[in-house]
Structure 1
């Protein structure tokens, strides 16, 4: 994915003083830049959320959020870093929240490699290397994939599909899905047992 490129005029608007301090993200003067960022990443991502890997079916800005991969609340210096910006569906963005995504949370410079992140980074990682999904079921292929599934609450799709009243964010569901994927005998009955236990 190509990162957005800011112009000199953009940087003049982003910086609010000669010391290089950035304006607040929500500053009305940045409305046009935020819209450009959103449009850029929706197009670069092919209208697909980089966390749930679902096609949103529209480029309408109302159904997209600009996500800061590394939250701006914890690392304000990364707010306008182009590789820290993506378009995501609101559900993934809200679920991801302000949780730490950096292996080294005290980092002062923006990382340039995938290994520096503990969830899938849309600019550095290939989604299919870390997560397999079919329909409503997501399975982590790597630790990073599993962390992304939990941090972005990707189990919400299966939870809604099977009408489970309690969140699936524990390893019992993951164990069940992995057994089904491996084709283990009796795995299908495990899901009924889990549903009875949690329901």
Structure 2
């Protein structure tokens, strides 16, 4: 992913914020009217750079209408307002993933400087990780293939797609479901795939409705 390079006017706004004392860096500043230009630039850049795909669920939203996208702070503004405009802390995501992730902590370190390596994050980072190394999709079934993939699946509630496919309310956050899905993904024959799918279906049937 290519980090945003701010226009001259946006850079003035960003630099002014970055120059504040730490105590004066308020996460609520993001919604200030004076930041409208910066927010719009961020969304326009990452919508195009991500090819209209959410960084977490990899689903396409084929529109540049900014109201249908959320500007995503990998490290949430509430956790570290100082990284609010850091280009490699930014992306765009779908509303559902953004809401699910919320203010959850995704760092392995809370050092003052911006964590700038993959190992500093528990989830798949859009700037430091290759998504396909951690998560694969089989239709609407999310298959995590690394610890980061599993954490991202949980944090962003990516099993919601499978739940919808199977007619289950909410999401499927039990590790047992992941195990059955993994067996389905690794199936070498049609018979093995059917057996694994049957196990997934049986598991789902035992989940109480919300």
Q: Given the superposition, is the C-alpha separation of residues 137 and 190 from structure 1 closer, same or farther in structure 2, using an over 3 Å criterion?
A: same
Q: Structure 2 residue aligned with 1:98, among 96, 100, 103? A: 103
The answer on whether the counterparts of 1:166 and 1:198 sit within 8 Å (CA) in structure 2 is no
CA distance in 2, matches of 1:58, 1:194: 37
Q: Structure 2 residue aligned with 1:117, among 115, 121, 124? A: 121
Task: Give the 3-state SS of the residue equivalent to 2:132 in structure 1.
Answer: helix
Displacement of 1:179 after TM fit?
1.5
Whose helix fraction is larger, Structure 1's or Structure 2's? 2
Task: Give the 3-state SS of the residue equivalent to 1:132 in structure 2.
Answer: strand
Q: Structure 1 residue aligned with 2:77, among 43, 58, 72? A: 72
Number of matched pairs: 198
Report the equivalent of 1:140.
144
CA distance in 1, matches of 2:184, 2:108: 31
Task: Give the 3-state SS of the residue equivalent to 1:154 in structure 2.
Answer: coil
1:1-199 map, 5 Å: 1-14=1-14, 15=16, 19=20, 22=25, 24-104=29-109, 106-165=110-169, 167-183=171-187, 184=192, 186-199=195-208
CA RMSD of aligned residues (A): 1.9
* Structure 2 unaligned residues grouped into runs of 5+: none
Displacement of 1:120 after TM fit?
0.5
The answer on whether the counterparts of 1:67 and 1:86 sit within 8 Å (CA) in structure 2 is yes
TM superposition score normalised by structure 1:
0.92
TM superposition score normalised by structure 2:
0.88
The answer on whether the counterparts of 1:48 and 1:54 sit within 8 Å (CA) in structure 2 is yes
